[in-house]
Amino acid sequence: MSEADRAPDGDYWQILSDSIEERGRRCRQSLTVKELLEAEDHLDLVQMGELGDLNREIRSPVIQRLGLALCGYCHDLEPHSLFLVGRAEHAYLTEQGQNLEASRLQTVLDREPGALLVSYGLPLHASLVQCCAAAGIPVLASQCNDIDIIVRLGRILVENLAPCLNIHGNLLVINGLGVLILGKSGIGKSDDSLDLIKHGHQLVADDIVLVSRTPEGSLIGRADELIQDHMEIRGLGIVNIKEIYGISSVLDKHPIELILYLETFTPNTVKSCFPEIESMRILDVARPLMRLSVAPGRSLENLIEIAVKHYLLSIKGYNTEKVLADRLALKRARDQAAAQAD
């Protein structure tokens, strides 16, 4: 058991939230050209003439056609991304021939591309080859067309450059809502998750949740491929949820929309009847957080279901505190009216 798990609930929560925030700041933000070549899917990318340094970093998932940059307008080129030379760029370079100014090409390469891509297996202009060799920029060629390269390679870049970290917890889909359940080891996350699955809800990940942030700002949770569809039940071991409850009981991935934090019930602690929904930041994205107290005899799976339904009502605009306050005001007004009538 880690030092964090031995800490009291209040200290554990602070350690957990601080750790998630710190690891989010340090998560991977780049991909080397060598790693891209190893990850690419059916594009048959090859390094032309062994030019450049394969350890150059790609930090942006954007694939940019050179286009106007060859005419000197380079302001829109994002540094540390991939620059694409397609048929139009190749035709322009061929037409310019010896009249193409080396300084213009150098201006393009001064934007620090991670690598240069060439589609359709086209030969590269000699001046561009020389400039890339001098700058240590790798040139990757593919027989695929521009659209295939942009779509397929763009997907790989988005997946590999998305900020990602591991979180100790469980992720389930409850009433269509992606719910990340956090709490100390041994507090009952897996047992409660199993009960929820028996009630018809779906498992995404048990014990370790891989969380990544999409370019749109969503948090996507999934399980590690090695333990996907499996849960560890104390005293029983690892079980296959998909085989036991069927294919509809599991999902590969799902957005995280709500966080539930399970904490040990503390007697004599006064809590508000209308606690405010807190927030927690993961990978610099805020998500609503609700705390649930765990105590012997409490049906926690039912409590979790009610908490999720209560949250769904709140985002639809239903406010329990306001409803009761309105009822109380109405009752007071009726009582006052009755007293005056007497």
| The pLDDT of residue 101 | 67
Residues 172-177 have a mean pLDDT of: 96
Q: Which residues of 84-119 are buried (b: 16+ CB within 10 A; e: fewer)?
A: bbbeebbebbeeeeeebeeebbebbbebebbbbbbb
The separation between CA 337 and the C-alpha centre of its own chain, rounded to angstroms, equals 57
Confidence bin at 9 (pLDDT 50/70/90): low
| pLDDT at residue 215 is higher than 80 | no
| pLDDT at residue 5 is higher than 60 | no
| The pLDDT of residue 1 | 47
| pLDDT at residue 242 is higher than 90 | yes
Q: Token pair of 189, please? A: 């996350």
Highest mean pLDDT among 3-12, 179-188, 250-259: 250-259
Per-residue pLDDT of 259-301, as tens digits, reads 999 988 776 665 666 677 889 999 889 999 999 888 776 778 8
| The pLDDT of residue 233 | 85
Q: Which CATH number fits domain 31-161: 3.40.1390.20, 3.10.580.10, 3.40.50.2300, 3.20.20.20?
A: 3.40.1390.20
Per-residue pLDDT of 84-137, as tens digits, reads 999 888 888 888 876 666 777 888 888 899 999 999 988 887 878 888 888 899
CATH class of 163-305: alpha beta
Helices 102-109 and 126-135, axial angle in degrees (round to 10):
40
| The pLDDT of residue 156 | 86
Q: Which residues of 219-254 are buried (b: 16+ CB within 10 A; e: fewer)?
A: bbbbbeeeebbbbeeeeeeebebeeebeeebbbeeb
| The pLDDT of residue 164 | 85
206: nearest Cα among 178, 174, 171: 171
- pTM, entire model: 0.70
User: Contact at 8 Å (CB) between 93 and 128?
Assistant: yes
Amino acid (1-letter code) at residue 273: C
C-alpha 216/C-alpha 162 separation (Å) is 11
Residues 3-17 have a mean pLDDT of: 67
Same CATH fold assignment for domains 31-161 and 163-305: no
Residues 238-249 have a mean pLDDT of: 94
Which sequence spans correspond to the domains of the chain?
Answer: 31-161, 163-305
Residues 218-224 have a mean pLDDT of: 93
CA–CA–CA angle 201, 293, 177 (5° rounding): 25
| pLDDT at residue 197 is higher than 90 | yes
Confidence bin at 52 (pLDDT 50/70/90): confident
Residue 194: partners with Cβ closer than 8 Å, 6 or more residues away: 231, 233
Confidence bin at 158 (pLDDT 50/70/90): confident
